[in-house]
Structure 1
Amino acid sequence: MDFKVTFSEFYSKVKTSLADGTFAKLTLAKTIGNTDLINIYVRPIIDEEILKLELKFKFQKEEIIEIRTIDNSFERLLEFINNPFLSAILFTTEFDLTYKLNKKRAVSVIEQFPSFGNANEVLLAFLANK
């Protein structure tokens, strides 16, 4: 199956965890080869009273931060799946969900026990004030 379709399904779990208050963080990692871009870290922020996502691009020598809507973040992150990143990990209070592409670009999605006991504090504060 096309990784764009499967990543869309994975990202729907991100949106659900944001809506239900279980989101802890999202990380894109495991690059192909030695790239300048090492990771992308995603966390919720409140911008002009709207829940948005901060995308922190961690390069070898610098960090760049972008603020995007939740839907717009999907398109931006999709640009980096398969080039250079082969995995994305969604951390929630209910489960960790790992999205992986292997060398043949076959997709696997693995659910594991949660690494985090608490959801993101900014998200919880936003949902409490809704």
Structure 2
Amino acid sequence: MSYEPIFALFWERVKQSIQDKTFAKLTLAKTIGDTEIKNVYVRPVLLENDMMKMSVIARYKTEEIESFHSLEDTYPVLFSYMNNPFLSALLFTTENDVVFKLNKKRAGSITEQAPTFKSASDVILEMKEKGI
């Protein structure tokens, strides 16, 4: 069974948290084996024209590579990292932490935990302030 439908549900939670202005941070973690890439961090950024993009920072052993994508274009970028090499994605919001995990059989699951962050990301707060 493919984990894509479960990851798509997880992505809907990401989009909803941005819309609800509760998004704090998104991280891909827990790699398979010792890999060059260590983490992927995702956060919203506001451009000069108050247009929001998603900053995707891939952190490797020796460097960091940042790329910018629309919210919709961020999904395939993150999906390409799942199971190659990452096994989990963590969405931190002010309401709860949402965790997408792949088990040994590569079946996806989503769990929720109490929130780690008390406030949304700075960009989300700025967007709320500007009414974006």
What TM-score do you get using the length of structure 2 for normalisation?
0.95
Alignment of 1:46-125 (within 5 A): 46-47=46-47, 48-125=49-126
Mapped to 2, the partners of 1:10 and 1:128 lie a distance apart of 27
* 1:41-94 Cα shifts (integer Å, max 9, x gaps): 011101232111100000000000001100100011100011100000000000
Mapped to 2, the partners of 1:126 and 1:117 lie a distance apart of 17
Task: Measure how far apart 1:122 and its partner are.
Answer: 0.9
- The residue number in structure 2 matching 1:39 is 39
Mapped to 1, the partners of 2:15 and 2:53 lie a distance apart of 11
Q: Given residue 92 of structure 1, which amino acid in structure 2 is its aligned partner?
A: T
Tell me how large the CA RMSD over aligned residues is. 0.9
Q: Secondary structure at the match of 1:18?
A: helix
Aligned residues: 130
Equivalent pairs: percent with the same residue? 45
Q: Note the residue ranges of structure 1 that are not aligned, 5 or more in a row.
A: none
- The residue number in structure 2 matching 1:24 is 24
Q: Note the residue ranges of structure 2 that are not aligned, 5 or more in a row.
A: none
Q: Secondary structure at the match of 1:79?
A: helix
What TM-score do you get using the length of structure 1 for normalisation?
0.96
Q: Secondary structure at the match of 1:115?
A: coil
Q: Given residue 116 of structure 1, which amino acid in structure 2 is its aligned partner?
A: F
Mapped to 2, the partners of 1:117 and 1:49 lie a distance apart of 25
Q: Secondary structure at the match of 1:90?
A: strand
